[in-house]
A and B are shown apart, each in its own frame.
Chain A
Amino acid sequence: DAGVIQSPRHEVTEMGQEVTLRCKPISGHDYLFWYRQTMMRGLELLIYFNNNVPIDDSGMPEDRFSAKMPNASFSTLKIQPSEPRDSAVYFCASSPQSGGSGYTFGSGTRLTVV
């Protein structure tokens, strides 16, 4: 299995532009999570899905952030409009129903908003 696949690996954009991050989870995993990592705040959960349905989006910072999971093999996290304070590494992770083996994380997308 190729693991959790995220794209792009790096994204540099100007303030005010729309940014879309993409994630392909491991086949057969029922849960998909989006996290953001910064030096100051560490890893923060933004939103998670179970069987393609959003379960908890309480971590989404504001209405500029949105996430979708149209099918079991694809999810997007969109920021519109982007701001410099959105600069961070965004991770996608997936997990099977049992959850006991923890999440499998992707390699992340490093977002820089200038």
Chain B
Amino acid sequence: EDQVTQSPEALRLQEGESSSLNCSYTVSGLRGLFWYRQDPGKGPEFLFTLYSAGEEKEKERLKATLTKKESFLHITAPKPEDSATYLCAVSESGGSNYKLTFGKGTLLTVNP
């Protein structure tokens, strides 16, 4: 069973059309939930870390929220430059476990 499931796999929006990406996770204890952006041919780029249910983080047109079972990445009035694959990852609590388990990502395309 996957620990991190992202949906949808792909999303196509018109410029200015707001939407949300979903990340559901199943871990015994959450150390942190991470969002990354990945452009073609590049490594993932860190966006946010969320630690507890109810927490929210914002950066420009992006806002990430967290509940006990899932996280949402809200994109408000997106622009074509927001097109990328968005990856969610979790780190489990306990010991010295710093490894991240990633979902397969959502490919976002924003058309002008």
Measuring CB to CB, which residues of chain A are less than 8 angstroms from any residue of chain B? 4, 31, 33, 41-43, 45, 48, 50, 55-56, 91, 93, 95, 99-108
Contact = CB atoms under 8 A, between A and B. Distances in A.
Interface residues of B, number: 23
16 contacts: A33-B100, A43-B44, A45-B99, A48-B99, A50-B96, A50-B98, A91-B43, A91-B44, A93-B43, A99-B91, A100-B49, A101-B49, A103-B44, A105-B44, A107-B41, A108-B43
Contacts of B45: 105
Contact of A42 (B43, B46, B103): B103
Contacts of B103: 42
B99 A42 contact: no
Interface string B25-48: 000000010101000011111100
Given A50-B96, A91-B43, A99-B32, A43 B87 contact: yes
A103 B49 contact: no
Nearest to A35: B102
Nearest to B104: A42
A95 B98 contact: yes
The residue among A55, A99, A106 with the most chain B CB atoms within 10 A of its own CB is: A99
Interface of B: 32, 34, 36, 41-46, 49, 87, 89, 91, 96-105
A45 B46 CA distance: 17
Secondary structure dominating the interface of A? strand
Contacts of B99: 33, 45, 48, 56
Nearest to A58: B99
A4 B101 CA distance: 20
Contacts of A95: 98
Nearest to B87: A43
A60 B62 CA distance: 35
